[in-house]
Amino acid sequence: MMILLTGGAGYIGLHTAAVLVEAGHEVVLFDNFSNSKPAGLKRLEAIIGRAVPCVEGDVRSRQDLDGLFDQYPIGAVVHFAGLKAVGESQAQPLRYYDNNVGGSLALLAAMQRAEVRRIVFSSSATIYGNADSNPIPETAALRPANVYGRSKLMVEEILRDLHAAAPGWSIALLRYFNPVGAHPGGLIGEDPNDIPNNLMPFVTQVAVGRRPELQVFGGDYPTPDGTGVRDYIHVMDLAEGHRAALDWALRDPRELLTANLGTGRGCSVLELVRAFEQVSGKAIPHRIVARRAGDVAACWSDPSLARERLGWTATRSLDDMCRDAWNWQRNNPQGFA
Ligand code: NAD
Ligand code: UFG
């Protein structure tokens, strides 16, 4: 039996593939390379010591999906494929709903035709929006403040409706907080196109000399040092969280489980910059500028449900995240290019 990773050539997909293969799973990746490069697959092969099948195709295509399910004995799906840039989602809502919601609908229909009823879905902490308090439990109100977040919430609701109508499904909705870092070997990591939107890849690109300075968006938040606070989670911990969710789904619990994947610890922008400087020995020139529209002051998880239900907990520290992010960027100044 094989595990299908849609969007498997992307940042989280590659790391999860490495963890799943090392745990003894057979995987097949499926990606349209809209935000990833085939070069990443070669690196994955170098890590695990053998080729991994990867099919080029689009989750919105019935033909591509049916061909995939016909060709491989797929028993469960981890659904990463999607677009994830918040600003872009506001400017291109139809593209985001088409890809993220339409793609998920097409995938679920193909799974139903193929009688595959186990899915782990990449949701996001962004669906909590501006939460009333921290840490955020799964029961908090869901009020995403952007198109990207609404597309994730829509897919969660589709999956809840599907489960209510067809209880044979085992469904894990994983709400990621802020994934950062890289595989410790430095062969795979985050490789954003254009100017990074996210903090860690921006910091590593400053460190490697690709950008002159970091702009810190806002120094007047009601947080200990005035800068935004987030729950950064090492991508290898996140990948292990997928392994735990998949093992849960493979036991056929026929339940729908919603779990935060975070560390439960908040870290400010300046704390992250200081930790990175310490670990890398590189100064990160930075300047506090105006707040970024749509940002919340602070957001961190209550990760206890994942510990109780999946037996998973994040173990890697902020220093580990910085060290591995830097190791990747230093060895690959231009990413996979
Ligand atoms: P990524 O862009 O690196 O990976 C997504 C992959 O999906 C890419 O390889 C892309 O080419 C592929 N893809 C996109 N649309 C597709 C389509 N229609 N058909 C086939 N493949 C398609 O992003 P990531 O950081 O690895 O994120 C993976 C998932 O996790 C996404 O769904 C994202 O929304 C979600 N997520 C990410 C974060 C984060 O900060 N990285 C946080 C919360 C949730
Ligand atoms: N930040 C800066 N400068 C930058 C980039 C970011 O100061 O150049 C700050 C932000 O203002 C924020 C913090 O760093 O305070 C983290 O910002 P990111 O853009 O790295 O992450 P966000 O929390 O804004 O959002 C990310 C993903 C979303 C995902 C969310 C989940 O971009 O897709 O985490 O919590 F949904």
Query: Would the pTM count as exceeding 0.85?
Result: yes
Task: Place 13 in a pLDDT band, splitting at 50, 70 and 90.
Answer: very high
Pairing of strands 170-176, 256-261: parallel
**Catalytic annotation on 148?**
yes
Could you tell me if 62 and 107 are in contact, meaning their C-beta atoms sit under 8 angstroms apart? no
Which residues neighbour 65 within 8 Å (Cβ) at sequence distance 6 or greater?
A: 57, 59, 106, 107, 110
DSSP category for residue 132: S
329 sits in which H/E element: helix 318-331
> Looking at residues 303-320, what average pLDDT do you find?
98
So what's the pLDDT on residue 294?
86
Ligand 2 atom closest to 177 (CA): 35
Q: pLDDT of 56-109, one tens digit each? A: 999 999 999 999 999 999 999 999 999 999 999 999 999 999 999 999 999 999
Please tell me which residue in 72, 97, 148, 176 is annotated as part of the active site: 148
Average pLDDT, rounded, for the chain: 97
Tell which atom from ligand 2 comes closest to the C-alpha of 178.
Answer: 34
Is residue 47 within 8 A of residue 268, CB to CB? The reply is no
Pocket test for ligand 1, best of 55, 80, 126, 232 (most atoms within 8 A of CB): 80
pLDDT tens digit string along 248-303? 999 999 999 999 999 999 999 999 999 999 999 999 999 999 999 889 999 999 99
Edge-to-edge strand list for the sheet holding 2-6: 54-56, 26-31, 2-6, 74-79, 118-124, 170-176, 256-261
**Which atom of ligand 1 has the smallest separation from the CA of 58?**
19
Sign of the alpha-carbon dihedral angle for 283, 279, 233, 2: positive
pLDDT band at 39 (very low <50, low <70, confident <90, very high): very high
Q: Given this model, what pLDDT does residue 167 score?
A: 86
330 three-state secondary structure: helix
The DSSP letter of residue 102 is: I
Any ligand 1 atom below 6 A from CB of 105:
no
| pLDDT-above-90 percentage for the chain | 98
- pLDDT number for residue 199: 98
Q: Mean per-residue pLDDT for 121-134?
A: 96
User: HSE of 155 in the Cβ direction (CA atoms, 13 Å)?
Assistant: 35
Predicted confidence at residue 268, as pLDDT, reads: 98
Tell me how far the alpha carbon of residue 80 lies from the centroid of ligand 1, in angstroms: 5
Distance from the alpha carbon of residue 263 to the mean position of ligand 2, in angstroms: 16
The residue-averaged pLDDT of 138-160 equals 97
